[in-house]
Structure 1
Amino acid sequence: MLVEYQNGQVFDGTKFVKRNFAVQDGRFVEPTATPDQVVDLAGKFVTPGLMNAHTHVTMSADPTYWQHRPRTAVTETVLALDNLKAALSVGVTYVRDVGSTHDVDLDLMKLDRDDLPGLVGSGQALSMTGGHGSGKGQEPKNSGTLEVDGEAAARRGAREVLRKGAKNVKLMATGGVSTPGETPFDEQLSEAEMRAAVVEAHHKGYTAAAHAQGTAGIKNAVRAGVDSVEHAIYLDEEAVALMKQHHTTVVPTLVAPRAIYENPATLPAFMVEKAKLVAKAHLASTKQAVAAGVPVVMGTDAGTPFNTFDHWVLVELEMYRQAGMTPAQVLNSATSQAAKLLHLTDVTGQVKVGLDADFVVLAEDPLQDFFAYERQTAVYRRGKKLVDRLTGGDGNATVAN
C-alpha cells in the first residue's frame, strides 16, 4: 500500500517546510497522483526518527534492578526489549549499543525487527585487564567487556567481536565515574592498543568508539583513529585541534553524570561525588567542541543509574542548547549527523526518498521545546505506527478513490 502524508511541516535539516511525502513497503517513495491512502498532517510537525548513539540495552537505570533478578541472557534480553520500547516512546527509532552482556545487542540487531528501534551493536567493549567496565570477579559472559592487553590481544579482541557480528568496536581509553577505584583521568588502553583495534574495525568498514573522559586518554583515542569519543569530559585546545584534524565526532552523554548527582539517595557516595565534580567541566568541554565546529552526535549513556531510555534523551537534547548549539543543530545531532557517524546515511536519518520510513509526527514544534517528543506524538518505524499519543490520531486518514 502506498500512503501519502500531506500538508505536514517536515524538517529539512535547517527548518520545517510544508511538503507531502509518501511511504510504501516501509520506505519513503515519491508521491504519486493515485495513492492508496491519504493522511492529512495539517498543523503537525514531522522529523526523522531520533537516534541515540550511546546506550547500554542490557543495563537498567534502576540501580536496584538486579537485586531482585538473576543476571542471565533471558533476563537481560527482556530488559533490553523494555529499554528499546521506552526509547521508541520518545521517537528514538535507532540506537547504537556500546557495551552489552551475553551479546544480546548483537542478537537483537540480527533479528532486525520492525517493531523495535534499529540497532548498531558492539557486543563486548575492549578493556585492559581490570579496566573500566571489566566486571571484576564476574564470569566473562556476564561482563560487558573483553579484557585485552597489548596490541596483538587488542587486534584479536576486535576481530572476535567483529566475528560475532559487531558493527562497532568499543574501546575503554580511560577510567570513569561509576567504577570504584578509578578516575576519569586514568589512562587505560594505550594509543597503540586502540590503533590495532581501530584498524580491524575500519578494515571491515565499521566504526570504533572510545570511552574517553580524561584529557590524555582522549588524545590517545583520537590519535589512534577512533570515529567517536564518548563523553569527552576534559577537553583542552590540543584535544579539540586533534579532533578537527582527525574528523573525530564527540558523543557527549551530558545527562549521565547529571542523572547520578540528581538522585543521590540510593547511590554510592563515591559515584555521586565524582558525578558532581565532572559536570561543570563536561558542559564546558562540549561548549568548546561546539564552538570549534567538532561534530556532535546525540548519545545519553542510557542504562546508567537513573538514566532511562526515554525522558533523559530529551534532557540531553535540551542541554545541547546550553552548549551553544542551535535548535536545528541539536536535532541534526540526533538524526542526519548520527546517521553519518553510524554509517547509516543510506538507511535512515532523513525524510528522504529511498530511506527507511522512520519518522515522528508531533503536535508541537520540537525546535521550540524538545520535550514535545514525550507529549503528543506518533512514532513510525519502517512505515509502521508503533506509538500514537496524538490527540485524535495523526490526522484523518482517508482512502483515495
Structure 2
Amino acid sequence: MITKYENVTLYTGTGKKLTRSSLVFNDNRIVAVGEEAARLESEITIDGTGKTIIPGLFDMHLHLGMDGVADPFSQIAADSQTHAAFRHNANAQKQLKSGVTSVRNLGSKWHIDLEYRDAIAAGLTTGPTVYGSGQAIVMTGGHGYPFSTEADGEDEIRKAARATLRAGADVLKLMATGGVMTPGVDPGSPQLSEREMRAAVEEATHAGKTTAAHAQGTAGIQNAVRAGITTIEHGIFLDDETIELMLKYGTVLVPTLAAPYYIVQNADSGAIPPQAVKKAVDCLEAHRESFGKAVKAGVKIAAGTDAGTPFNLHGDFAKELELMHTGGMTVGDIIKSATLNAAETLNADSLTGSLEKGKAADIVVLNQDPEETIHAFRDVHTVYKEGVSVYESEYSAVPVTN
C-alpha cells in the first residue's frame, strides 16, 4: 500500500524543515520526500494541512520492567519472570502510542528486554524497535545491584560482558557511579573503575556493539569517557574539563532530565524512599546547569527519559523534550536528538532516524508544529511503525505538567 501525505510540514530529523511538502511511503520504507514525493501517485492520499510529520522518536534510556511507581526496586523484586515480561509489553505499548518507535532499554532483570525484543521481531506482538542491554554490569553492591550482574576487577567484568553479549545484548550498560535510587550509595562517588569499564568496552567493540555508562559524578563520568564509553547517562555533575573530554572522545550525552524532576515534583507524596528524594533534591539544579553547559559547548545529545523511575511514566516522552527546550535547545535540535542523533549513536542511521528515501517508515504525525508550541509533542495524531498505522487518534494530547 502506497500512502502519500501532502500539504504537510516535515521535520526530516537531519535539521531540515519543509513546509507545504509531501511524503510517500509504503508498508515498510519511505519512498520519497519533498518535490519527488509530490510528483508520485499513491493508493492513499492524505491532506496534511495543519499537520506536522517527524521521524519516529527514540527514547534512548528507559526501563520497560518498571512502571514509574514510587519504589520501582520493590516492584522489580516482587515480579516473577512472566509478570515482568507482560510488564515490558504493556509499557512498550504506551511508548509506541506517544510516538516513540524505538527504545533503548538500559537494564532488565533476567535479560527479559532481550527476549521481548526477539518476540517483537518474530511477530508475536507489535511494539517499538528494542535495543536492549539485558542486566546492567555493576560492582558488588553497586548502583542497581539487586537486578544487575555484579562483578569486580577487569577479569570478572570482561567475563560478565562476554556473558551479556552471548545473551544477545545490543548495548552493554555499566555503572560508573552511584545513583539516586539505590540505598547507601552516593551519586557523586565513582564505582566501576576506568580500567574495569575499558575491559567491557573492548568486548563490546569486538562484538560490534555499543556501551552506556550510568555516570552522575564528575570523576566517574571522566573514567567512563576515557574508557571509551559510547554514551554518558544522566551526566549530572559536568564541569568544563569533563565537557572538553567528552568533545575530544565524541561521547554522547543522554541527559534524562525527567528522572530527578519527577522525584522532586513528587517529594511530598510520602511514597518515594526518603533517601532517593534527598539525593534527587541535591542533584536537580546541578543537573540543569550541566545540561545547559553541554548544549552550549556542542556536546552531541540523544534524548532519553529514564522512564520507569518514580512518577516518570512510560508514554510521557514529551516531558523530556519540554525540559530540554527549557534548558536551551532549539526545537530542531531537540527533534534531531530524539531521531537521527539517537540512530547514529546506535549505528542504525542507515536504516532509520530520519525522513529520507529508503529508510524505515517510522513516522509520527502531530496535530501542531513544535516550533509554535513545545507541547505539540503531546498532541499525537497518528503513529506509523514501518509504514503500518499502530496508533490513531483525533485528539490524544497528554495533559501538560509544570
TM-score normalized by structure 2? 0.91
Give 1:160-179 correspondences, 5 Å limit: 160-179=163-182
The equivalent residue for 1:132 is 143
The equivalent residue for 1:49 is 56
The equivalent residue for 2:31 is 29
The equivalent residue for 1:211 is 214
| Inter-partner Cα distance in structure 2 for 1:339 and 1:203 | 20
CA positional deviation for 1:362: 1.2
Matched, 1:116 2:127: yes
Matched, 1:83 2:57: no
The equivalent residue for 2:318 is 314
CA RMSD across the alignment: 1.8
The equivalent residue for 1:8 is 8
| Inter-partner Cα distance in structure 2 for 1:68 and 1:20 | 45
2:345 to 319, 341, 344: 341
User: Which range moves more in the overlay, 367-376 or 196-205?
Assistant: 367-376
CA positional deviation for 1:373: 2.8
Matched, 1:279 2:279: no
| Distance verdict in 2 for CA 1:355–1:230, change over 3 Å | same
CA positional deviation for 1:4: 2.0
Deviations 1:142-166 (A, max 9, x none): x2x1111111111111111111111
Q: Secondary structure at the match of 1:18?
A: strand
The equivalent residue for 2:201 is 198
| Distance verdict in 2 for CA 1:212–1:373, change over 3 Å | same
Deviations 1:177-233 (A, max 9, x none): 111111112211000000000011111111101000000000000000001100000
Contact 2:65 2:76 in 1 (8 A): no
| Inter-partner Cα distance in structure 2 for 1:360 and 1:186 | 40
Report the residue type matching 2:80 in the other structure.
T
| Distance verdict in 2 for CA 1:362–1:63, change over 3 Å | same
Contact 2:70 2:273 in 1 (8 A): no
| Inter-partner Cα distance in structure 2 for 1:133 and 1:110 | 25
The equivalent residue for 1:233 is 236
The equivalent residue for 1:259 is 262
The equivalent residue for 1:329 is 333
The equivalent residue for 1:61 is 68
The equivalent residue for 1:371 is 375
| Inter-partner Cα distance in structure 1 for 2:165 and 2:223 | 22
| Inter-partner Cα distance in structure 1 for 2:78 and 2:240 | 46
Report the residue type matching 2:150 in the other structure.
E
CA positional deviation for 1:377: 1.6
Report the residue type matching 1:155 in the other structure.
R
The equivalent residue for 1:397 is none
Q: Secondary structure at the match of 2:7?
A: strand
Report the residue type matching 1:212 in the other structure.
A
Report the residue type matching 1:96 in the other structure.
R
Runs of 4+ in 1 over 4 A off after TM superposition: 64-70
Contact 1:362 1:390 in 2 (8 A): no
Contact 2:7 2:19 in 1 (8 A): no
Contact 1:115 1:381 in 2 (8 A): no
The equivalent residue for 1:353 is 357
Q: Secondary structure at the match of 1:287?
A: helix
Report the residue type matching 2:132 in the other structure.
G
5+ residue gaps, structure 2, are 397-402
User: Which range moves more in the overlay, 28-37 or 100-109?
Assistant: 28-37
| Inter-partner Cα distance in structure 2 for 1:25 and 1:357 | 8
Report the residue type matching 2:28 in the other structure.
G
5+ residue gaps, structure 1, are 136-142, 393-401
The equivalent residue for 2:399 is none
Deviations 1:107-147 (A, max 9, x none): 12123257311110100111001111001xxxxxxx2x111
Q: Secondary structure at the match of 1:103?
A: helix
Q: Secondary structure at the match of 2:134?
A: coil
Contact 1:16 1:45 in 2 (8 A): no
Deviations 1:252-291 (A, max 9, x none): 0111011111112211222111111100000100111111
| Distance verdict in 2 for CA 1:69–1:268, change over 3 Å | closer
CA positional deviation for 1:68: 11
Contact 1:170 1:210 in 2 (8 A): yes
The equivalent residue for 1:250 is 253
Contact 1:84 1:117 in 2 (8 A): yes
Report the residue type matching 1:76 in the other structure.
A
CA positional deviation for 1:17: 2.9
User: Which range moves more in the overlay, 272-281 or 317-326?
Assistant: 317-326
CA positional deviation for 1:67: 6.3
CA positional deviation for 1:15: 2.4
The equivalent residue for 1:138 is none
Deviations 1:306-358 (A, max 9, x none): 111122x2111111122221111111110111111111102211111111110
The equivalent residue for 1:270 is 275
Contact 1:327 1:368 in 2 (8 A): no
| Number of residue-to-residue matches in the alignment | 383
1:180 to 173, 179, 183: 183
